[in-house]
Amino acid sequence: MGKFSGIELSADCAALNPDVVGVDTAPTPLHNVELKPTKADVRAERDLQNQCENWLSLRGYCRRSPSCIKAASTPAKWFVHLHKAKRNPILLDLLIMSGGKCIEIELKTAVGKLSEEQYGIIEKSGIRVALMVRDFDAFCHAVKKWENEIERDSK
């Protein structure tokens, strides 16, 4: 997969997004040698998830929960994160919704590897719908870019 500002792109996604420059389209094998993540690796990914969720909250997004759904003034911006969703084959780490649009983002630290299902979600959805980021800055960049596209499309 190629890289663009911390966003992983496959050759297929890169071909669909010619505005993304400097993409390495050399194929990457799906099944590399798997190293079991250490406790520190797991903690680092959990910390990244928390940091991203807090940032979304500061931007006016509400975690989709029974209490938020029942609230008198429901926000137009939501995010969903299934905690302790090991081996969840149907949803990436964060599902973010705003303006009738959604994006799924898989958060991985430098040592994190995509499962076959996660890879499939990203490949079949395309870069505008599902992607993987490796750090907080790349996450913020991806969300801001997505929000700008929503704003541009609404004009």
Count how many domains the chain has: 1
Answer with the residue of higher pLDDT: 16 or 128: 128
Coil, helix or strand at residue 104: strand
Question: Averaged over 34-48, what is the pLDDT?
Answer: 82
Backbone φ, ψ for residue 112 (5° rounding): -70, 145
Question: Averaged over 95-114, what is the pLDDT?
Answer: 88
pLDDT of residue 49 exceeding 80: yes
Which two three-digit tokens encode residue 110?
């430098």
The reply to whether 60 falls in a domain is yes
How far apart CA 48 and CA 96 sit, in angstroms, is 16
| CATH at residue 144 | 3.40.1350.10
Structural domain range at position 134: 37-154
The reply to whether 11 falls in a domain is no
Supply the mean pLDDT for the chain. Answer: 76
pLDDT confidence tier of residue 118, bands split at 50, 70 and 90: confident
Coil, helix or strand at residue 128: coil
Cβ–Cβ < 8 Å for 135, 6: yes
- Dump the DSSP string for 48-102: HHHHHHHHHHHTT-EE--HHHHHSSS--SEEEE--TT-TT-SS--SEEEEETTEE
The reply to whether 17 falls in a domain is no
108 has which bridge partners? none
The reply to whether 146 falls in a domain is yes
Nearest to 136 by CA among 144, 128, 146, 124: 144
pLDDT confidence tier of residue 45, bands split at 50, 70 and 90: confident
